[in-house]
């Protein structure tokens, strides 16, 4: 038995491997009851929940000049790090939690359980603290120290998976845990939960369309759970001929936290390969260099996934400029740079 599952069972002795009857303590009456009204009301009242979304969209004029782009090529950065939990995953987590409460899957006596590379987990933990439900997370041991400490600060229970297996290792471990955990746990399953892309259909997409005056030509979004590109892209595609660009690491072994190299990874169930117009592979060092340049040129302190998006956008922008095309590219700024201070991203000579 993997050590993570053994640890989970040791800490939760009522969920014995061979005692499923004891683990499943929810009665039939509880199972068919409706959503918890008090918990739904607490979302509406929560200052944290109400602070999620409506993030700014900034044109990066200095960065455009840094790249040598003509005025006809615009780069706009969606600054998702201003969400209260520090990343775009606040939108995802809130959507999943709200949907689970409405369906009766999450309520009194139930713990939210999921695998996460860090940001969605932080958002779950933040909402768990704000709305008073417990959170247990499986996180790759390779997650940055800042992410680990943030999860601890919010009071989440964290189990670390093999650091060399990345997010896929966390997914495999949490699936083993759910097979023995019983009905006291709600498995949020962000990689396959339709509430993930729904968050971006409802919020991120409309915000970008409005903030760009309906003139966005390209959306550049990193692929982790893939929910941002799937949801935002689906909304924007309905509005007009917007090109959708997915960004992934160039290789299976990489240092861009939270991103998946889809050819070699567990592909999320919410991913629709027919939606993106193009998938761009970005080297880790190129992502790091773009994030560092953003800090030094524009003064925005962002993480490595934002750097990957910027590196891809820069490559695409140069192609468009060479072809004499005008464009307004919107780049997703996934999270802030402070979450990576202990990583190679900011180990500068």
Alpha-helical runs (H) found in the chain: 3-11, 20-23, 28-31, 37-45, 47-50, 61-67, 89-103, 119-131, 145-154, 166-181, 195-199, 205-211, 227-239, 284-297, 304-322
- Catalytic-labelled residue, pool 78, 89, 161, 212: 89
Number of CB atoms found within 10 A of residue 216's CB: 23
Which residues, listed in sequence order, are joined to residue 247 by a DSSP beta bridge? 222, 280
CA distance 179 to 185: 11
**Annotated catalytic, 305?**
yes
Number of CB atoms found within 10 A of residue 236's CB: 26
- Catalytic-labelled residue, pool 87, 95, 142, 305: 305
Residues in Cβ contact with 6 at an 8 Å cutoff, skipping those fewer than 6 apart: none
- The angle, 0 to 180 degrees and rounded to 10, between the axes of the packed helices 37-45 and 89-103 is 150
321's tokens: 């400029």
Instruction: Give the phi and the psi of residue 191 in degrees, each rounded to 5.
Output: -75, -15
Which residues, listed in sequence order, are joined to residue 73 by a DSSP beta bridge? 327
CA distance 119 to 39: 23
Coil, strand or helix: which one is 182?
A: coil
Number of CB atoms found within 10 A of residue 34's CB: 10
Nearest CA among 234, 226, 249, 238 for reference residue 311: 249
Coil, strand or helix: which one is 30?
A: helix
CA distance 10 to 110: 19
Task: Show which residues are catalytic.
Answer: 89, 305
């Amino acid at each position: 038995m993997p050590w993570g599952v053994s640890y989970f069972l040791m800490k939760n002795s009522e969920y014995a491997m061979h005692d499923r009857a004891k683990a499943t303590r929810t009665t039939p009456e509880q199972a068919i009851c409706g959503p918890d009204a008090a918990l739904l009301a607490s979302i509406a009242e929560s200052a944290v929940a109400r602070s999620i979304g409506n993030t700014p969209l900034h044109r990066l004029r200095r960065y455009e000049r840094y790249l040598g782009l003509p005025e006809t090529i615009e780069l706009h950065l969606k600054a998702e790090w201003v969400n209260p939990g520090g990343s775009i995953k606040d939108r995802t987590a809130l959507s999943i939690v709200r949907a689970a409460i409405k369906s009766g899957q999450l309520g009194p006596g139930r713990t939210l359980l999921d695998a996460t590379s860090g940001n969605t987990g932080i958002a779950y933990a933040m909402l768990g603290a704000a709305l008073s439900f417990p959170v247990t997370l499986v996180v790759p041991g390779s997650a940055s120290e800042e992410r680990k400490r943030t999860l601890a600060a919010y009071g989440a229970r964290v189990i670390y998976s093999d650091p060399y297996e990345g997010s896929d290792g966390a997914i495999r471990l949490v699936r083993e845990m759910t097979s023995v955990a019983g009905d006291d746990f709600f498995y949020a399953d962000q990689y396959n939960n339709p509430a993930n892309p729904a968050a971006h259909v409802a919020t991120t997409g409309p915000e970008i369309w409005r903030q760009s005056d309906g003139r966005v030509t390209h959306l550049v979004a990193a692929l982790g759970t893939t929910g941002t590109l799937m949801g935002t892209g689906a909304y924007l595609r309905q509005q007009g001929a917007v090109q959708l660009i997915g960004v992934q690491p160039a290789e299976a072994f990489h240092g861009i936290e939270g991103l998946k190299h889809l050819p070699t990874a567990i592909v999320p169930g919410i991913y629709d390969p027919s939606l993106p117009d193009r998938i761009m592979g970005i080297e880790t060092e190129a992502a790091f260099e773009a994030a560092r340049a953003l800090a030094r040129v524009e003064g925005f302190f962002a993480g490595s996934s934002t750097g990957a998006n910027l590196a891809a956008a820069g490559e695409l922008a140069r192609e468009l400029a060479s072809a004499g095309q005008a464009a307004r590219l919107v780049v997703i700024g996934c999270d802030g740079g402070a979450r990576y201070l202990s990583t190679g991203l900011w180990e500068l000579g």
